[in-house]
Amino acid sequence: MKNPSAAAGDSVDRDRLWRRLMEMAAIGARADGGVNRQALSAEDARARQLMVAWAEELGLEPNTDEIGNLYLRRAGSDRHADPVLTGSHLDSQPSGGKFDGAYGVIAGVEALEAIARAGVETRRPIEVVAWTNEEGSRFQPGAMGSAVFAGDMDLPSLLPITDRAGISVETALRETVAATPGITTRQAGFPLAGYLEAHIEQGPRLEAEGLTIGVVTAIQGSRWYTIEVGGEEAHAGTTPLAKRKDALKAAVAMVGALQEAMADPTDTVRFTVGRFEVGPGSPNTVPGHVLFTIDFRHPEMATIERLTGQIEPICQANAQGCAVTVALNSDTPPVAFGRDVIDTVRRHADNLALGHMDMPSGAGHDAMHIAKLCPTGMIFVPCERGISHNPAENATPEDLAAGARVLAAALVDLANR
Ligand code: HGY
Ligand code: MN
Ligand code: MN
């Protein structure tokens, strides 16, 4: 037999992969071509049911854990060996794309089918995982499933968190897991021999360089905050400006001052106010309450500490008589992947004669939590104009299949060590 990794890579089928991606994209499909499949929603539940159906089709064993991560397990010849894990997430942004997350999960399913069709046995089991709530758009923080698995967050502190409709993680999790009854449950955090995640780049570099594979070396650090500004509702016609505690006026001054403080001539700092809510939202009432979020990212911990240390003082300095609370929702330090998996990904990209480059990830991924547990890496493929977290997110069947080929070959390699 030819080299098992090469056999597995050659057995990846572009059209089968594309068909499964489009089947998944139909769940939570938006009229504009994107998807809205938010964490622990009815759409997320249907996505998991589809995964379980694929497991039955492929003879994989589905199982889950206490935070609802969903695993599809392919047995190895040594059933006591720690498994190699691959996967990503099925939940999307509310106005998301077809490929963010879903590609990594479905490329994992394709890799397992390709390995089986190539008649390749591996010593270790290989499992495909769909991590719970990677996006963090409905329930903050994000990456809950992989963070609980890695011990970075504890489930009891997450269960009471509610979405904007007041539904708790606990309630939504119970309803979602109920959609795939009868599958076995394991305690999260079981030992892993390795983790490899395929993902679209969500940036423009691979496309600009005309390359197919990103050999991911690191993930930048990120901090998320929620700022609440408490002023005083008042009559818009009778209340002099000098007497107001206008929460909107104060919040706008805070955001302006923060954007000035975060200005970076090298354009490396990522500072985003993605949510800005004004209450009570009546044209003739002075706003009494504003809630806004901050997503801050940078590759260096020292810069993260230095710049985010200014957030609270700047908010307080622009309070204009309002009350201000600054809450840190999530804090994920920069992560560097080990040489082991990086070199493995690069070698299989070379073996498949695919153009590749080493590159860090600007986006966060579940791999940032798993990297402390075992040899971890990621494979990027290009997406059109680098667009993501947008219904227009797109990628070609050829590039997606190429990434799945590298994934299948590398998984066989890792699972036979
Ligand atoms: O926000 C992120 O970086 C990821 O795409 N959820
Ligand atoms: Mn993602
Ligand atoms: Mn995302």
Ligand 2 centroid to Cα of residue 384, in Å, is 16
Nearest-CA residue for atom 6 of ligand 1:
135
pLDDT recorded at residue 1:
60
Q: Is the CB of 134 inside a 6 Å radius of any atom of ligand 1?
A: yes
pLDDT recorded at residue 312:
98
Domain count, the chain: 2
Quick one: tokens of 315? Answer: 């908010």
- Please give the Cα distance from 119 to 4 (Å, whole number): 9
* Domain encompassing residue 267: 222-332
Identify the CA nearest to 327 among candidates 222, 221, 227: 227
Residues 6+ apart with CB under 8 A from 266: none
Ligand 2 centroid to Cα of residue 199, in Å, is 7
pLDDT recorded at residue 2:
77
Ligand 1 atom closest to the Cα of residue 134 is 6
- Please give the Cα distance from 155 to 177 (Å, whole number): 15
- Please give the Cα distance from 48 to 176 (Å, whole number): 9
The answer on 181 and 42 residing in a single domain is: yes
**CB-based contact 376:370 (threshold 8 Å):** yes
Which residue type occupies 51? M
Residue keyed to tokens 């354009």: 267
Angle among Cα 25, 217, 263 to the nearest 5 degrees reads 85
Residues 6+ apart with CB under 8 A from 168: 159, 160, 161, 162
Ranges of the chain whose pLDDT falls below 50 = none
Given 273, 303, 332, the domain boundary residue is 332
pLDDT recorded at residue 80:
95
Identify the CA nearest to 376 among candidates 214, 147, 193: 193
- Please give the Cα distance from 200 to 181 (Å, whole number): 31
The answer on 153 and 194 residing in a single domain is: yes
What predicted TM-score, i.e. pTM, was given to this entire model?
A: 0.96
pLDDT recorded at residue 171:
98
Q: Is the CB of 28 inside a 6 Å radius of any atom of ligand 1?
A: no
> In Å, how far are 56, 136, 392 from 39, measured between CA atoms?
24, 8, 20
- Please give the Cα distance from 94 to 139 (Å, whole number): 12
pLDDT in tens, 50-99: 999 999 999 999 999 999 999 999 999 999 999 999 999 999 999 999 99
Given 299, 332, 365, the domain boundary residue is 332
Please report, for the domain that includes residue 291, its CATH number: 3.30.70.360
Q: How many residues does the chain have?
A: 417
Residues 162-172 as b/e (b if ≥16 CB within 10 A, e otherwise) read ebeeebbbbeb
> In Å, how far are 91, 358, 383 from 203, measured between CA atoms?
19, 14, 7
Please report, for the domain that includes residue 46, its CATH number: 3.40.630.10
The answer on 16 and 157 residing in a single domain is: yes
The answer on 226 and 216 residing in a single domain is: no
Given 332, 359, 392, the domain boundary residue is 332
